[in-house]
A = this chain, B = another copy of it.
Amino acid sequence: MKKNILVGQSGGPTAVINGSLYGVVAQAKEHKGQKIDHIYGMINGIEGFLKDRYMDMEADMTSEEFEALKTTPGAYLGSCRFKLPADLSDPVYARLFDKFNRLNIGYVLYIGGNDSMDTVSKLSRCAKAHNSDIRIIGIPKTIDNDLVGTDHTPGFGSAARFVATSVREIGIDAAIYDTNSVTIVEIMGRHAGWLTGAAVLARKYKKDNPVYIYLPEENFSTEQFIEDIRRALETRKNIVVCVSEGIHDAQGRFICEYESAAGVDNFGHKMLTGCGKYLENLIRIRLGIKVRSVELNVSQRCSSVRQSQTDLKEAIEAGRFSVDAAVSGASGMMTAFTRTGDAPYAMECTLVDVNDVCNKEKKVPLEWITDRGTDVSDAFIQYVLPLIQGSVTLPEDNGIPVFAYRRPV
């Protein structure tokens, strides 16, 4: 019997999350006439679907839009940050499954990170409890690369490529004057330092910029930081250092919170800035040196122009594999990547129990963090290097990339 498939996106965007959506829709089309009839997309994830917001991924999109979707950053379907209740007897589940049944949904695919896998876990456990044959599969995505059970996550490779490229360019920019300077680059990653660590790839040779890389897996000391900078300035003029947004002291207090406590605006409100800006001011005051901070900000997760071909290919593959898995009867699983080769790099999709994934965080192993928490090891480099390979050619119009936009439905 033919069933309909429903796909949604959740959590923060990445450069290739729509690649996975493209893969889902493309593979679902392959099953049309046999296992799958309509292909629906939740708008703004499970939260929007609860308000009956969804679209038909074929009828509501032109073929040009579908092609542009592949390389469009962000989340085409819109996203949400919505936590389903822990109590599976909560009426929201009855409402949801009623909606699934009315739309004759047989397969629910949810693209997201940690929290989204929590949704997949709850929905699949709920389906099991109610003897529903709706199959629920999670498709991983996050620039943070912090999902357990998978070698890496789609979205990370492109973000890492963006970070490595930007930090190399910033190093070039910082070196043009014949005077001492410090440049602090703040990189996303609240609890896991994968993306910040990828800045190591900006180096052309050992001990090139960035001279230091600080991850949130280790405690951060501002006094040690000042000392690190002072020492580096003894042998070189222009220093670039990378810090994760989530660096914190030994007491677990985020460095970005130091600033808030100090900076109060005209209205007496705390001003919110990042740790990079805090450290910039600290170095200026304590070392009296030219210093600048650069927050790579949302471009890390939404820049299309540094998409990694490997990452995009794998994101699409994860989407396709997940459809096949659901159609074959899997449920309560997340599609994961297993690295099957290093030279040359090779990867295979597998399935892992989503309950072993959700609400956990994969951090950078401490043995990959070196030099008193100021660098990463060769093992880290070998891990990340294959993930940033290859360029993607973007369709352009008038000098600007063409993206797919969802029309109001």
Interface residues of A (CB under 8 A from B): 13, 44, 47-48, 72-75, 78-81, 161, 164-166, 168-170, 172-178, 183, 201-202, 204, 258-259, 262-267, 269, 271-273, 277, 280-282, 284-285, 292, 294-295, 297-299, 301-306, 308, 385, 388-391, 396, 398-401, 403, 405
Contact = CB atoms under 8 A, between A and B. Distances in A.
A400 B165 contact: yes
A288 to B, nearest CB: 11
B262 A262 contact: no
Contact of A405 (B44, B176, B204, B298): B204
Nearest to A397: B204
Contacts of A183: 298
B399 A164 contact: yes
Contacts of A204: 405
A72 B277 CA distance: 28
A356 B336 CA distance: 64
Nearest to A204: B405
Nearest to A297: B294
A75 B176 contact: yes
Contacts of A389: 398-399
A150 B116 CA distance: 54
A201 B281 contact: no
Nearest to A388: B399
A168 B405 CA distance: 12
Contact of A398 (B175, B264, B271, B385): B385
22 contacts: A13-B176, A44-B178, A75-B176, A169-B299, A172-B403, A173-B298, A173-B301, A201-B398, A202-B400, A262-B263, A262-B271, A263-B271, A264-B264, A269-B281, A269-B285, A294-B297, A295-B297, A299-B299, A305-B305, A308-B399, A385-B399, A388-B399
